[in-house]
Structure 1
């Protein structure tokens, strides 16, 4: 199952790309964060706006920061400073809220057309 074109347009207009589709009806969406993280989410295609809203609502800024601090402690190279991680996690949260809202608007607009 592929993403409807109205949603693909919204994703592309907000800088998101489809990375891949899974065999179980999900899609991996990706976008680079302002700090350069190749951020991706995997959500169901069938109810894409609702799935992205749910992911955005559950995104944990603190957990994201902690994940990268732990990665740096474990020798992962290229991890930004803690200050930059905080700003980037907040920016990622904003990216998620923006794409969730934009997909919801596209969904509502298509419901009005029917």
Structure 2
């Protein structure tokens, strides 16, 4: 259990370092512990260990379906309430956000003020 005043933890899954600038911006806009993984097969186990307050997924996961990764989290009793944000470069994916069962979907290029606001909102909920 996290203590009051402790830093919030964000877990980021990035397929090929395309989100490193986003991570830098997230750290600029807020005082977070950011954990990064490049392995979609390891994110679930990592989340169980660090118990994040928020998860950000890069839509283009290598050999893994983003929808299945989201479903794993939503099916887990301990992690089901962790908000998930998906970041994509494909505008057509916006219409499918409900099928991913994510809490927010952002299309690149990102408006960092809007993303930061949404991160704060989701972690406060």
Which entry has the higher C-alpha Rg, 1 or 2? 1
Q: Which structure carries more strand by proportion?
A: 2
Q: Normalising to structure 2: TM-score of the pair?
A: 0.30
TM-score by length of 1: 0.32
More helix by share: 1
